[in-house]
Structure 1
Amino acid sequence: MKNNRKFLVGMLTAVFLILASCGNSTDESKVTLDNQPPDNNARQNTKDNSLDTDNINGNEADLPNDDLAKQEDLSSNHTESLKEEYLKKLNDTKREIDKVRNNNEDETTYALKKVEGDRYDVWDGLLNEVYGVLINQLPAEEMDQLRKEQREWIDYRDHTAKEASLKYKGGTMEQLEYVTVENDLTEERCFELVEKYMR
């Protein structure tokens, strides 16, 4: 009986020692794990959502050549997509305006002037928008040349519209013809600027 009691006491002591050491090793492992870097999966998730901290300086010179090429590809793709975005916007606008013009049931001069006035607002707004994008995109020297070209184009547009309207001089169609020609030329110029200059 005494032997059994000694055996039980020995067993209980051993169990307590094992539990105590497990508790200590667990606490130690917690401290150690908290101070270790995240595992590869956690690091991968961090990389997906943030900058690469391996190159903490952030200098382009520190980046591998492949990374520089990727950055250049991304910037050229963004610029190309901007050009494509504007071409799509211009084509969509043209389609919508043509639909309104072709489905206009009111053929009075007043109604036609209203349609052309609205058309002018749209195309003139888009021309200014495109021009604003080009101011930000083009090098200073190229932009200076475009400014000069744009001033000449405005003179050409106004002169051409005036000449076309003179065939209706003094009539109710004179102003309508002027605005219609002005709109046609402004629409063409929007496409020309995007195709020729936008990058």
Structure 2
Amino acid sequence: MINSRKYLIVFLTVGLGILAACGDSTVESSAKSSNNSSTQNDDSDISNKDGTASEERKTENSSGVNDKNQKSDQEDTTDKTPTSNEDGEPLKSDNNSNEIMESKKDEYLKKLNEMEESDRYTEAKTTIVEMEEQEEERYKKWDEELNEIYGVLKEQLNTEQMENLREKQRDWVTHRDEAAKVASLKYEGGSTESLEYVATQASLTRKRCYELVSKYMK
């Protein structure tokens, strides 16, 4: 009887030990499971945060690229001004055209002043023959310049204006030659008659160059 009780006590003690051990194992397992779950949730949160941040960066980058593209398109649109009409002909700028015309007038006035300055400081010849040759050269130079100016005016003036100028120019040529003849008759029969004729032609031609540029050239 005593032995049976001992066996029972030992059996109960072992059983309680086993139950206690099982209980600890269950608690540890639950704790590990809880820790693992927490870790997974943390990792998931991190992953979600990283993914969200990545998406936000992509959105910002995409937005920035779109803004740049829009600005670029706007700049291109602003810079691209039409340079030709529907027929493909280049457009003419009135402002640029006026500037060219004005500068043309200034250019010729400056040129005429330089030519006159050159005549003023040219050394005069001493003999009648040499002086006559010198005046002939002067007349030729100014007559060539007059023809050049006349050609420019053909491009600038309209048909009616050019026709009026052509009539006036014919009258001026007649006046020039008549005035030269009258001036030379003062020395009729003398050695300077022909010299005075060509010298007068040269001076009147120089004056006419200034008149055409100042009055008609734009």
Partner of 1:142: 161
Aligned counterpart in structure 2 of residue 179 of structure 1, from 195, 198, 217: 198
What is the CA-CA distance between 1:72 and the residue it aligns to?
A: 1.8
- Alpha-carbon RMSD across the aligned residues, in angstroms, is 2.7
User: Which ranges of structure 1 fall in alignment gaps of 5 or more residues?
Assistant: 1-36, 61-67
4+ long deviations beyond 6 Å: none
Report the Cα offset of residue 54 of structure 1: 4.7
CA apart distance, 1:71? 2.4
TM-score, normalised to structure 2, is 0.60
Shift in Å at residue 84 of structure 1?
A: 0.3
Cα 1:120–1:54 shift into 2, 3 Å: closer
**Bigger Rg, structure 1 or 2:** 2
Residue of structure 1 in register with 2:138 after alignment: 119
Q: Deviation at 1:55?
A: 2.8
Q: How does 1:20-169 map to 2 (within 5 A)?
A: 53-55=80-82, 58-59=84-85, 71-100=93-122, 103-104=123-124, 106-169=125-188
Task: Give the TM-score of the pair, scaled to structure 1.
Answer: 0.66
Residues 85-139 of structure 1: per-residue CA shift (max 9 Å, x gap): 0000111011012211xx22x3110111111011011100000000010111100
Give the 3 Å change call, closer, same or farther, for CA 54–79 of structure 1 in structure 2: closer
Partner of 2:42: none
Between the aligned partners of 1:137 and 1:187, the Cα distance in structure 2 is: 21
- C-alpha contact 2:149 2:212 (8 A) present in aligned 1: yes
Maintained 8 Å contact 2:139/2:203: no
Within 2, Cα distance between the matches of 1:54 and 1:195? 36
Report the AA paired with residue 167 of structure 1: K
Output the amino acid matched with 1:71: S
Structure 2 residue identity aligned to 1:99: Y
Q: Which residue of 1 aligns with 2:61?
A: none
Per-residue CA deviations over 1:138-183 (Å, capped at 9, x if unaligned) read 0000100000000000000000000000011111100000011111
Question: Contact between 2:112 and 2:210, CA under 8 Å: does it hold in 1?
Answer: yes
Give 1:77's aligned amino acid.
E
- Quick one: distance in 2 between partners of 1:97 and 1:151? 26
In structure 2, distance between residues paired with 1:169 and 1:54: 69
* Unaligned 5+ runs, structure 2: 1-68
Query: How many percent of aligned residue pairs carry the same amino acid?
Result: 45
Q: CA deviation at 1:53?
A: 4.3
Distance 1:137 1:74 in 2: 14
Aligned length: 144
